[in-house]
Amino acid sequence: MITKTEPKIIENYLQDASLLKGKASGLILPESTRDISGILEQASRKREPMTVSGNRTGLTGAAVPEGGQILATDQLNRIQTIEAGFAVIEPGVTLEELQRETAKRHLMYPPDPGERKAFLGGNAATNASGPRAFKYGATRQWIRRLEVVLPTGEAISVRRGQWKADRLGQIQFLTKSGKEKKISLPRKYTLNQKLTKNSAGYFIYPEMDLIDLFIGAEGTLGVVTEIEVGLIPAPPHVLALVIFFRDEKDAWMFVREIKTISLANRFAKQAGQLEARAIEYFDCRSLQLIRPDYPHIPKHAQAAILIEQEYMDESDERTLMNLWYEIGRRFNSLASETWVANSEELREEFREFRHALPAKVNAWLRTHNQIKISTDMAVPSHTLFTLLDFQQHALAKEGLSYVTFGHIGDSHLHLNIMPKNDEERKRAKALYWDLMRLVNRLGGTISAEHGIGKLKREYFAEMVGREALQEMAALKKALDPSCILNRGNIVAEDFLV
Supply the CATH number for residue 311's domain: 3.30.70.2190
CB atoms under 10 Å from CB of 420, counted, come to 15
CB atoms under 10 Å from CB of 340, counted, come to 15
Q: Is residue 449 part of a domain?
A: no
Domain of residue 202 covers 79-233
Q: Which of 368, 403, 421 is the last residue of a domain?
A: 368
Q: Is residue 385 part of a domain?
A: no
Q: Is residue 50 part of a domain?
A: yes
Q: How many domains does the chain have?
A: 3
Do 355 and 262 share a structural domain? yes
Q: Is residue 457 part of a domain?
A: no
**Pairing of the two strands 50-53 and 26-29:** unpaired
Q: Is residue 355 part of a domain?
A: yes
Do 24 and 39 share a structural domain? yes
Residues listed for the chain = 497
Global pTM value: 0.94
Average pLDDT score over residue span 114-128: 96
Calpha distance 214→20 (Å, rounded)? 24
Do 353 and 277 share a structural domain? yes
Q: Is residue 276 part of a domain?
A: yes
Do 322 and 250 share a structural domain? yes
pLDDT, position 224? 99
Return the H-helix or E-strand segment holding 304: strand 303-311
pLDDT, position 190? 73
Alpha helices in 137-280 (DSSP H): 210-214, 248-268
Contacts 24+ apart (CB under 8 A), 84-87: 84/231, 85/230, 85/231, 85/232, 86/144, 86/228, 86/229, 86/230, 86/231, 87/228, 87/229, 87/231
Do 84 and 228 share a structural domain? yes
Do 265 and 205 share a structural domain? no
pLDDT (tens digit per residue) in 431-479: 999 999 999 999 999 999 999 999 999 999 999 999 999 999 999 999 9
The residue among 417, 416, 411 whose CA lies nearest residue 399 is 417
Supply the CATH number for residue 58's domain: 3.30.43.10
Do 202 and 318 share a structural domain? no
Do 53 and 105 share a structural domain? no
Do 221 and 246 share a structural domain? no
Do 267 and 206 share a structural domain? no
Q: Is residue 394 part of a domain?
A: no
Return the H-helix or E-strand segment holding 311: strand 303-311
pLDDT (tens digit per residue) in 144-199: 999 999 999 999 999 999 999 999 999 999 999 999 999 999 987 777 666 778 89
Do 124 and 195 share a structural domain? yes
Calpha distance 168→260 (Å, rounded)? 38
Do 95 and 15 share a structural domain? no
Q: Is residue 349 part of a domain?
A: yes
Calpha distance 313→330 (Å, rounded)? 26
